[in-house]
Copies of this chain bind each other. A is one copy, B any other.
Amino acid sequence: METKNLFQTLDQTLVVNINGEIFSPSDAKISIFDRGFLFGDSVYEVAYSQENVIIFYDDHIQRLYNSASLIGMQIYLGENYIKEQIIKTLKVKNISESYIRVILTRGESQINLDPSCSFKNNLIIIVGPKPVYPLAQYQNGLNLIIVNTLRNNIKATNPNAKSGNYLNNVLAVNEAKSLGVDDAIMLNDKNEVTEGPTFNIWMIKDGIFATPPLKSGLLRGITREKVIYILKKNNLPFSENVIYADQLLDADEIFITSSTRGIMPISKINDKIFGNNLNDWPNIAKISKLYNEFINNEVKLKQINY
């Protein structure tokens, strides 16, 4: 019964690596004393590969270390070991376009909040097929809502640490889905726009591209960073100032960025309609084209080939 349920829910096309050993999804288990399970005391990254190249590998690993640093987690594993295990898992799965999730926990410990009780990490790598989002979403955009669930305060649980404490994001998604909307936009307690549960948010007003600053409380998205780089390189006007909810709703065009989705337009937020398709959003069309060229170029450079 339990196994049956498990097979209904788990994607059996995934391959899991736990501390160097390969498991099928139904055999992939971790100690209940792992602090990731007890307290959400873990950090993670999601990357993907294209034509056997892990896109922005160095950025993802750097951010994994940064998340660990933000929560005071020591990483006892060498960077080379982590890379070896990622490549080993990719080779088992052996597909050229992969989803890659790397989870690093503070390891098992006594049931005690004090993180000094732990002294080893558990490394979990999950590899599967890269999710393919419907083309219609890239053409016609998503429908979002500004939810009542606030983003965690930067001084409480910093959203820039990509950690196993994702309940805040789960609650936001739940709120949006229960209202029949695709996804959520979260504000902080000062009514500033922060981000979505799994993406950064962008607006264009009078030709100026704008995204909220880190100090509003958000993850430094890798796609966000790349878009900033592309805008600057192409001399496109860019601003990284605080955005309030009413400013967002007053924008000409809205899009989101994430590693797996890339750039995706937003057609509606709350009751405000921003348009129906990419023809209505010339600036999003422009940055999408530049971003796709940038990714294709990245793949050609093949930093990490496996």
Contact = CB atoms under 8 A, between A and B. Distances in A.
Interface stretch (A31-39, A57-65, A204-212, A243-251): A31-39
Contact of A29 (B10, B30, B126): B30
Most interface-central of A6, A10, A31, A156 (chain B CB within 10 A): A156
Contacts of A177: 114, 116
A96 interface: no
A91 interface: no
Contacts of A34: 37
Interface in A121-171: 124, 126, 148-153, 155-157, 163-171
A192 interface: no
Contact of A156 (B25, B39, B124, B152): B152
B32 A166 contact: no
Given A41-B166, A150-B156, A126 B111 contact: yes
A117 interface: yes
B157 A171 contact: yes
A186 B16 CA distance: 38
A32 B16 contact: yes
B9 A108 contact: yes
A77 interface: no
Interface of A: 2, 5-6, 9-11, 16, 18-19, 25-26, 28-41, 71-72, 101, 103, 107-111, 113-120, 124, 126, 148-153, 155-157, 163-171, 173-174, 177, 189, 197-198
25 contacts: A5-B119, A9-B108, A9-B110, A9-B118, A10-B31, A10-B33, A11-B110, A28-B33, A30-B30, A30-B31, A32-B126, A38-B164, A40-B40, A41-B166, A41-B167, A41-B170, A113-B166, A113-B173, A150-B156, A155-B189, A156-B168, A164-B167, A165-B166, A165-B167, A189-B189
